[in-house]
Amino acid sequence: MQFIQTIIKILSKYGNFYAEGVRNTLIISLMAVVFGTLLGALMALARMSKIKPLRWLATAYIEFFRGTPLMVQLTFIFYGLPMVGISFPEVSFIPDFSRFMAGVVAMSLNSCAYVAEVIRSGIQAVDPGQMEAARCLGLSGGQGMTMVVLPQAIRNILPALGNEFITVIKESSVVSVIGIADLMYRTNGVKAKTYNVLECLATAAIIYFILTFTFSKLVAWAERRMAHGRKS
């Protein structure tokens, strides 16, 4: 009972800290999924390309980013790139913009590798006859892919993309190591002020659960809607 009361006190006193952390977590996660999806679509097409060097590069990229820890990728991008002369610009009206962009870039590149495989499997799930029919109608390979195959593949991959967003929300906690004020970073700040380690971590866990549970229900609702659309 004392444990729960402490959590309530923490939320009532430091609610603004957690609210800011949730906001930054959602912004980073959303941007990572959007950019990751755009890059992932290109990477999936490269992975399926008939041009061998392009296919090899895409395969190497996907295997590398799926086979190495996100924290290592984030640390390398934030600390390693400036060492070779590549750094993110500072924007005067956005605090810690370079840190924020480093987190978004790292999360996007990581998400891209997973989304690329999701999109590739979605495209391959479409009946090959659809492309053949598009070519028979006079469409080029690119037109057939963008106008016929991809619209059908999107229906197959939307639930997986929703699950990727949920995964990114949880994995975004690693950006706290480079000083981005996400939910985990703000939690560490509250821990330092209150010395209630377990209570602060439990509060963060509850908030993460609420976020992921809410979005998982939205994904499930979207799946049911799409399944109903197929039947009708």
Looking at residue 87, what is its pLDDT?
A: 77
Partners of residue 94 on adjacent β-strands: 91
Taking the CA atoms of residue 71, residue 72, residue 73 and residue 77 in that order, the dihedral angle to the nearest 10 degrees is 100
| Domain 2-174+185-227 coded CATH 3.40.50.1000 | no
pTM value is 0.84
Tens digit of each residue's pLDDT, the chain (232 residues): 788 888 888 889 888 989 999 999 999 999 999 999 999 989 998 998 888 899 999 999 999 999 999 999 999 998 888 888 877 777 765 667 788 888 999 999 999 999 999 888 888 877 777 777 777 777 776 777 777 777 777 777 887 888 888 889 998 889 988 888 889 999 999 998 888 889 999 999 999 999 999 988 888 887 777 666 555 5
Q: pLDDT, tens digit, for every residue of 164-188?
A: 888 899 988 899 888 888 899 999 9
Cα radius of gyration (the chain): 21
Which two tokens mark 52? 């061998």
Q: pLDDT, tens digit, for every residue of 63-90?
A: 999 999 999 999 999 888 888 887 777 7
